[in-house]
Amino acid sequence: MDTMSLSATTVRSPAPVADARDSTWDFLEGLALPLASDAADTVVLVVSELVTNSLRHGGGTCTLDLTVHPDSIEVAVHDRSTRAPQMRTPDLHGDAGGFGWPMVNRLAHATYVTHSSAGGKTVSALLPR
């Protein structure tokens, strides 16, 4: 089974999210059974959304894990916050966001949040291969 893990820390720039996207592309390009380009684009988009949300709302640090399953790719982002993502009405006129979590839920076969007994949570999305 192919897996990848990456830690990210927010430094008031988009660099950690860009690094997560780049690392995801490298990981996907190295798979023995490559993904179709649209499936790879979807994985990178979900990584970008989940890492951005985790850095913004989850305490400033996170870990990204990618796991390849026979029929899916699992994107899992771990952070220190216990607060789960919530659906909300997107802000169409400002910069308050609200688009990412609904989009991730539409793109994924399944999404789930797991709380850790040590604190924090993991937000996971299973995406088609």
Run of H or E including 112: strand 110-115
Tokens of 98: 């609200």
Output the tens digit of pLDDT for each of the chain's 129 residues: 577 676 666 555 568 899 999 999 999 999 988 899 999 999 999 999 999 989 888 888 899 999 999 999 999 999 999 998 876 776 667 676 767 899 999 999 999 999 999 899 999 999 998
Maximal C-alpha separation, the chain = 44
- The model carries a pTM of 0.87
- Rounded to whole angstroms, the Cα distance separating 8 from 113 reads 19
